[in-house]
Amino acid sequence: MPRQSSHTIAPPVRSAAKPQRPRDPVASGERDAAHNRSASFHYFLLDKVEAGIALRGTEVKSIRQGQANLKDAYGLIKDGEAFLLNVHIGPYSHGNIANHDALRTRKLLLHKEEVRRLHGKTQIKGHTLIPTRLYFRNGRVKCELAVAKGKQDWDKRETEKRREADRESRAAINASKHRASRA
């Protein structure tokens, strides 16, 4: 008679792996690092372009912490190069004496043809370059630039009226849905 084996195979031992930390939504590109909300109110945004930014030292870490502000920023093309002025990137909290200057002029990284095209569009009277948002793509900071034309006061009032009408219509639709679901 064959002998029965008392040997059993134990299930594989699983190592206590560290739980995955959720990645920062700004660093992973799910959320913008900075957004210029007033740009669409003060300007007609005509053409948008993605550009890289030449940053120093701790600026990327500050942007990841959400310390960037685009409110008064604008773009400038000079001598065939594009620059970003008045972008406020706050000092890095864990930085040292070599921390970056918050309002320095930063160079935009664009192809020559893109710079020429933007230069031609900004030569039209009333047109300028406005940064609309800062975000991460593949671990690098990108800036969305828009060729913008300034709005007059009556344009701003018209935009506000349209926005208010849209808000009221959405509220009416939601109210009718709510009444229909209760009945």
Position 159 scores a pLDDT of: 83
User: Coil, helix or strand for 57?
Assistant: coil
Domain ranges (residues) in the chain: 34-151, 152-183
CA angle 75, 155, 170 (to 5 degrees): 105
Determine the Cα angle at 74 with ends 34 and 30, to 5°: 20
- 34-151 CATH choice from 2.40.280.10, 3.40.630.10, 3.30.1360.200, 3.100.10.10: 2.40.280.10
Could you read off the pLDDT tens digit of each residue along the chain, which spans 183 residues?
Answer: 566 666 666 666 665 666 665 667 776 666 788 888 888 888 888 889 999 999 887 888 888 888 889 988 999 999 999 999 999 988 887 877 777 778 889 999 999 999 999 999 999 898 999 999 999 888 888 999 999 998 888 878 888 888 899 999 999 999 888 888 776
Contacts of 70 (CB under 8 A, 6+ apart): 34, 35, 36, 39, 87, 131, 132, 133, 134
Q: What's the pLDDT score for residue 156?
A: 80
Provide the pLDDT for residue 19. 60
Residue 149: both structure tokens together: 């034309």
Cβ atoms of residues 83 and 115 within 8 Å: no
pTM of the model: 0.70
Report pLDDT for 30.
67
Give the Cα-Cα-Cα angle 93, 95, 97 (nearest 5 degrees): 130
What is the predicted pLDDT for the residue at 12? 65
